[in-house]
A and B are shown apart, each in its own frame.
Chain A
Amino acid sequence: MRLAVLLKTVPDLVEELALDEDARTLLFDEMSYVPSEWDDQALEEALIIKEESGAEVTVIAVDTGDVDTMLFTALAKGADYAVKIVGDFDAAMSNWQKARVVADYLGRGDFDAVLSGVQAIDDVDGQLPGLVAGFLGWPHASVITEVRVAGGSHLQLRQEYAGGLVAELETVTPIVVGVQAARKPPRYASVAKVRQVAKSATIDEVEADVAEARLAGVEYVRPVAAGHAEMIEGDIDEVVDRIVAILEERNLLRRA
């Protein structure tokens, strides 16, 4: 079984978003980027499949900035190959454009399944796995919390629904899977191991052309606060009285 895992970086929300308030644009070059946490889950699930059934894992990232550390970390965790799709790309590249170049690359290979984070914090124009599946014409399943090889060329998927329902699906390959969570928390790659991998391993670079974006962000603005939380001041008795009063005002408290 050959698995591809799509990784991308997203703006790091530990920092303020760099927003040009006048021009109403995001200053993509001024933000710092971190690996998308859902992609980390997808990688973990792929590595668990590898440990269970000997699959081969290739991690793929579009070169929208510094993605090498992310790819080397994935290799240190146990991925077999790393591919960087290079071209005239930048951090402002849309998901649609990323999906286009990734799908072109995947279509030329013989992967059985593509795993990626079901969503990311920068899904302004759609989520990557669905877009990739659309371009490839492959089946797609999202919000997946478990992927198992069911023998032959079938996969068993566990999919979460609202209201606490879970479905078990069986699917043919190739397929694109949007992973919500892996079965285990993502593993840790020690810094020494990542640095050693960065010295010894290579990232395959594949050139690609970027298609013109179909969707453009019109403006980026900060959300306007509609109301504020009430901070309850005073000693413990005053605070308790106020909380009880609020609950009574809203008919949330019934005195026996």
Chain B
Amino acid sequence: MQKAKAIELDIAVVDGVELNGSWNRMFEPRVISEYDLSVLDSITQIPGAESLGYCYQCGKCTGVCPVDTVGDYSPRKVFRRTQLGISLIDSPDLWLCTTCRNCLRVCPKEVNMINIMPAVREQAVLEGKAPDELLTAFENTARYGNPIGESPRKRADWTKNAGVAVPIMSQRKAPVDVLWFVECYPSYHPRGKEASSALARVFDALSVDYGILGTEEKCAGDSQRMAGERGLFEMLAEHNIKMLSKYTFNQLVVTDPHAYNAFLHEYPKMGGEWPVQHYTQFLAERLNQVHFVKALNKRVTFHDPCYLGRHNGEYEAPRALLAALPGIDLVEMGHCRETSYCCGGGGGGMWMDSFTRDYASERLSERRVKEAIEYGAEILAVSCPYEVPRFEDAVKSTGHDGELQVMDIAELMAYCMGLNEALVLH
């Protein structure tokens, strides 16, 4: 039997406070910790997954993990099972994390699932142990530049029905102020396209000097990276950086918080560094130019996207836009801002609904929709392209069809600015 090593983190810094753990470090293994740690070691030896070994089983993560509320998964449980010899690579646990980052927010030992999950998943993908539906999304992305498997030639087709001219960089042949990185679901998903059209109308009304890449754009790839396909992410990033580098622009504006995360933290490492804003941030700075002509007169609640809020600290911009809408009755749900729930789409969850169904009592999106209903909301406002399809499905599957509308903030703005006749175009 191998003796336990002192593997815990020496000092953790939580919210700027240094927590020195040396006073209670374990120097002599106790009988209770005399496990065969070879399986845990095999995981913590994977670069990026080291911090799994820091866990001291306090369980704070379990209290905030959205997946644990619908199933039997939390980072603490992942550590414990691995410690007992169940390999994470072979366990369904590996695919249930949505990388929502709520555990890291409360973890006193800095066990970082945001690094652990992609690292261990990459190993599992190499060993052929990933769910088939996830691999299909990877193959689609590699082949078509989008996880849905749609034609790359049709990536800009949504612009034909946008109602305003949407400039495409390859045709415009002139520098622009803003390069709008549209992303996949806003380019192809029926409801995503409607939100894109709404945002195009808002840009047009504000005389934003902008352009899109059109068919030269491919998926930003951040969720594929979090789901364990780093090579695919790098291929996509190289392509997008090459295409963006052809053009002159002052800043990027992205529709998708996952793309925002990639452009903020990952693309610069590969030589693609541009100032980037989420569209809510860009519009919040221009609220004084916005002319509203219609009142919403609805009770609205807002779901913070994990990759805009917890990952990148932006909670105010979407709220500033919503608060400015005439006639809005904005109500916060219990889970909001830092403690926001998760729609279940992040970290590859978007492409594993059939897989996760076997391990969860309900979808995270269903739980979130029930919360919005509890607060009497008539509209669930969102600002991430994963969320409209996920929450709209959840509204139907929880039997609340007709009670709650799921709307992108861009759609609500376009409506109150008199740019969209109806709330939803279809």
The distance from the CB of B133 to the nearest CB of chain A, in whole angstroms, is 11
Whether B113 is near chain A, meaning CB under 8 Å from some CB there, is no
Residue A52, interface by CB 8 Å: no
Chain B residues near A194: list those with CB within 8 A. Answer: 231
User: Does the CB pair A190–B151 fall under 8 Å?
Assistant: no
Q: Is A191 an interface residue (CB 8 A)?
A: yes
Given A14-B144, A34-B143, decide whether A191 and B232 contact each other with a Cβ distance below 8 A: yes
> Which residue of B has the minimal Cβ distance to A35?
B143
Within 8 A of B (CB), among A192-215: 192-195
The yes or no answer to B389 lying at the interface (CB within 8 A) is no
Q: Mark A162-198, 1 if CB is under 8 A from B, else 0.
A: 0000000000000000000000010110111111000
Within 8 A of A (CB), among B214-252: 229-232, 234-235
B229 touches A191 (CB 8 A): yes
Q: Which residues of B contact A185 (CB under 8 A)?
A: 132
User: CA separation between A15 and B145, bound complex, in Å?
Assistant: 14
A45: min CB distance to chain B, Å: 16
Q: Is the CB of A190 within 8 A of B229?
A: yes
Residue in A14, A34, A195 whose CB lies within 8 Å of B231: A195
| B87 nearest CB across to chain A (Å) | 19
Q: Does B153 count as interface, using CB distance less than 8 angstroms? A: yes
- Please indicate the chain B residues that have their CB under 8 angstroms from the CB of A195 in the complex: 231, 235
CB nearest neighbor in B for A195: B231
Given the interface pairs A190-B125, A193-B126, the reply to whether A14 lies near B232 with Cβ below 8 Å is no
- Cross-chain contact A193 with B231 (CB below 8 angstroms): yes
Within 8 A of B (CB), among A1-36: 14-15, 34
Nearest-neighbor residue (CB-CB) of A34 within chain B: B143
In the complex, which residues of chain A have a beta carbon less than 8 angstroms from the beta carbon of B229? Answer: 190-191
Interface residue B138 (Cβ < 8 Å from any Cβ of A): yes
Please indicate the chain A residues that have their CB under 8 angstroms from the CB of B122 in the complex.
190
Q: Which residue of A lies closest to B135 (CB)?
A: A188
> How many residues on chain B are close to A (CB under 8 Å)?
22
**A192 engages B132 (CB within 8 Å):** no
Would you call the interface of chain B mostly helix, strand, loop, or mixed?
Answer: helix
Interface residue B103 (Cβ < 8 Å from any Cβ of A): no
B150 within 8 A of A: yes
Contact call A15/B153, Cβ cutoff below 8 A: yes
A15 contact set on B, CB distance < 8 A: 151, 153
B378 within 8 A of A: no
Q: How far is the CA of A203 from the CA of B60 in the complex (A)?
A: 54
Enumerate chain A residues within 8 angstroms of B149, measured Cβ to Cβ: 14
Q: State A188–B124 Cα separation when bound (angstroms).
A: 11
Chain A neighbourhood of B234, CB < 8 A: 191-192
Does B130 contact A188, Cβ atoms closer than 8 Å? yes
Residues in chain A near residue B126, CB distance under 8 A = 190, 193
Inside 8 A of A190's CB, which chain B residues have their CB? 122, 125-126, 229, 231-232
A207 and B122 CA atoms in complex are apart in Å by 39
Closest-by-CB residue of A relative to B128 is: A187
With a cutoff of 8 Å between Cβ atoms, the chain A residues found around residue B125 in the complex are 188, 190
Task: Select B150's contact among A14, A34, A191, A193, beta carbons within 8 Å.
Answer: A14
In the bound complex, how far is the Cα of B229 from the Cα of A188, in angstroms?
Answer: 11
Given A14, A187, A191, which contacts B142 in the complex, CB threshold below 8 Å? Answer: A191
* B145-203 with Cβ < 8 A to chain A: 149-151, 153
Q: Is the CB of A192 within 8 A of B130?
A: no
A192 CA to B236 CA, complexed, in Å = 12
A14 interface neighbour in B128, B130, B151, Cβ under 8 Å: B151
Measured between beta carbons, the chain A residues less than 8 angstroms from B142 are: 191
Kindly state whether residue B8 has any CB partner on chain A within 8 Å.
no
Measured CA separation A191–B125 after assembly (Å) = 10
Q: Does B139 contact A (CB under 8 A)?
A: yes
Q: Which residues of A contact B139 (CB under 8 A)?
A: 188
The complex places the Cα of A195 from the Cα of B128 at a distance, in Å, of 17
Whole-angstrom distance between the Cβ of A248 and the nearest chain B Cβ: 30
Closest A residue, CB atoms, query B134: A188
Nearest Cβ in chain A — how far from B138, in angstroms?
7
- Among B138, B143, B144, B230, which residue has its beta carbon within 8 angstroms of that of A188? B138
Taking the nearest CB of chain B, how far is it from the CB of A58, in angstroms? 22
Instruction: Kindly report which residue of chain A lies nearest to residue B143, judged by CB atoms.
Output: A34
Distance of A191 Cα from B142 Cα, bound (Å):
8
A191 to B144, CA, bound (A): 14
Contact (Cβ within 8 A) A188 B235: no
B interface residue numbers (CB < 8 A to A): 122, 125-126, 128, 130, 132, 135, 138-139, 142-144, 149-151, 153, 229-232, 234-235
9 contacts between A and B (CB under 8 A): A185-B132, A188-B128, A190-B126, A190-B229, A190-B231, A191-B142, A191-B234, A193-B126, A195-B235
Task: Show the binding face of A for B, using Cβ within 8 Å.
Answer: 14-15, 34, 185, 187-188, 190-195
In the complex, besides A188-B130, A188-B135, 5 extra interface pairs with C-beta distance below 8 angstroms are: A15-B151, A191-B229, A191-B231, A192-B232, A194-B231
